Chain A
Amino acid sequence: MERTRAILVDITKCIGCRSCEAACKQIHGFPAESEAKLSPTALTVIEEHNGKFVRKMCMHCQEPACASACLVGALKKTAAGPVTYDASKCIGCRYCLVACPFSVPHYEWTKLVPYVKKCDMCATRQANGQPPACVEACPTGASTVGWRHEILEEAERRILAGGYVKKIYGSEEAGGTSVFFVSDVPFEDLGFAAPPRQPMPLLTASALGDVPAVVLVGGGLLSGLYWITQRRQAVAMAEGNTPVATTSGKERR
């Protein structure tokens, strides 16, 4: 079942050359100059934390908050692994920006016809058997791509071989992602987010699951109340009184 693609980023191997940034910008036709933070024209960036180079990009959650938030289904977790964005559906509500626990989606605030921008793990390239542009450009093998279960095994192998913090970032964050990080420095010191451990869509699933019950029970209850009210009025009428007496109604008559 784990035939989905995943990326492993080994922070010990990153030399901060920013080849991934450049390749990403080139393939998307963005201006070439490097940016400090993720933006609509920088879908991956290298940030420096405590002397280490940390690559930022979409985590491609197994159960993405953004995809569950998107009311028109523009954001989707594809069967192959990447979380993709269909700009033709987007209405620009920006709920995905609110929902993402990793603050990944960015909005084109300066444009008159603005869209959401985020990494799609080069879904079309991968469908054609090519690696994501950033991985292909990495000269040191700090970023690698593969099947998710194999990538996880590789991460474990490296950690067991020693020299790493005993944690694969992404294995349980937000219920598990498709981008993993291994590091020799604790992730807290590298500016990594600490999102909830459960899949984010679970947070809204139970509320949404209540809809049929609310409709059925609510509808039934209201019908019952209406029936009782009608009955009381009919009885009051038959007894020759004014319908369900109310103080103000009576006096006004």
Chain B
Amino acid sequence: MTRMLSKITLWRTIVALIFAAGLYATYARFALGFARATHLTDPQPWGLWVGLGTLCGVGLSAGGFAIAAAVYLLGFERYRPVLRAAILVSFLGYSSVIAGMMYELGLPWRIWHPIIMWNRASVLFEVSWCVMLYSTVLALEFSPALVEKIPWIGLRTWYLKWHHEILVGLVMAGVVLSSLHQSFLGGLYLLTKGKLDPLWYSPYLTTMFYLSAIPAGLAVTVIALFFSVRSLDVKLDPRVFGEVSRVIAPLLAVYAIFRFVDLSKNGALHYLWMWREETLSFWLEIGLFVIIPLVLLNMPRVKNNPQSLYWTCATVVGGFMANRLNVSITGLQSSSGIYYVPKWTELVPTLMVLTAAVLAFRYAVIYLDIFPKNSAKIPSRLRWTITSTAAEA
């Protein structure tokens, strides 16, 4: 117990520091303006808040729709124990993206404008509607976890019955909406023809963004599960890690093939061997997102070990982030003619929002029924310990 307390105090200090820095950055953004709070300029109008906050935030939240579809539409019951956690992660992810929008938009109090001011020719318009609708879908999908805790049984039963009626419809809507806006985030960059580096520009940016978001979203789900078991005292059948990770490898392979064919079709293959920053960033991205995970996920030692899977998934997430930052920043650097290095006040709000999301996840797991209670009954031969410290505590 004392060990846990001391651990928490360390983390509390870090969290407090992040929040303090985040609050100052918030002050800088809103009281001093973009010029003082960011290194954004006309040639680089989208920086970390779009690249990291929006593109990574939405992409990494793709686990919810994939797991929900697997359980409800495909009947893969083996994912059910982690369904709520996956939906919660996605819901918090989208909430974070919307919170991040408040920093990114120049006039955030007008964030509702797209509801009544339409431009169907705009990819961003489609993205904004899909994100609005899908956030609502996620809130509804997650709502039973909160409603269950309402003490009035009549209201509870009524809501849960009503929820059950619309659930499959919600899940289907979630899949369609996610497919649309995950692709359209890539579609945003179709207009950068001639500006975006050939290693990333493609008429199939939409497909590329979609194919990469699903494995990345699943990787985040694995990370969240590991965090729950390791730090939140959740008992989970360890095989579920393997079940979720198992699909990541083929998804990454499909993406890799598609990416390679696309690069050769666009005549961009010779860029792969040029000595320049873009190419190095490209190989960092491909190494982290495709090559290392594909090798690791084919090793039996990794496949059957939750901790190894956790690190593999962290690599996938790192590679995914490299990809989104390459598209939004690195790939546009040479055409913009300026070298954008974000200011610390750009990074910190994103970090603060992420920390808040992790805290919210933690409290939800502690106070709500996110994981099934009976899953503690794990055959003893499969009982596992992630680290000796976690087991002792």
Contact = CB atoms under 8 A, between A and B. Distances in A.
Interface of A: 65, 67-74, 89-95, 97-99, 101, 103, 105-107, 109-115, 194-196, 200-201, 203-205, 207-208, 211, 214-215, 218-219, 222-223, 225-226, 229, 232-233, 243-244, 246-249, 251-252
Nearest to A76: B119
B176 A215 contact: yes
Interface stretch (B16-24, B32-40, B211-219, B282-290): B32-40
Nearest to B207: A207
Interface in B237-252: 237, 239-240, 243
Nearest to B32: A112
A75 to B, nearest CB: 9
Contacts of B379: 251
B154 interface: no
Contact of A94 (B78, B106, B176): B106
13 contacts: A68-B191, A69-B122, A72-B114, A73-B118, A97-B45, A98-B46, A98-B192, A115-B106, A196-B193, A203-B203, A207-B190, A226-B172, A252-B375
A225 B377 CA distance: 32
A211 B126 contact: yes
Binding site of B, secondary structure by majority: helix, strand, loop or mixed? helix
A208 B240 CA distance: 38
Nearest to B240: A248
Nearest to A193: B194
B373 to A, nearest CB: 12
Task: Name the residue among B74, B104, B203, B374 with the largest chain A CB count within 10 angstroms.
Answer: B74
Interface of B: 30-31, 33-35, 38, 40-43, 45-46, 69, 72-78, 80-81, 104-108, 110-111, 113-114, 117-128, 168, 172, 175-176, 179-180, 183-184, 187-188, 190-195, 203, 206, 237, 239-240, 243, 374-375, 377, 379
A223 to B, nearest CB: 7
B126 A208 contact: yes
Contact of B107 (A92, A233, A243): A92
Contacts of B105: 91-93
Contacts, number: 179
Contact of B75 (A98, A207, A229): A229
B192 A91 contact: no
B45 A107 contact: yes
A92 B120 CA distance: 18
A93 B124 contact: yes
A110 B240 CA distance: 51
A98 B45 contact: yes
Contact of A252 (B104, B175, B179, B377): B377
A252 B237 contact: yes
B188 A95 contact: yes
B41 A71 contact: no
Nearest to A225: B73
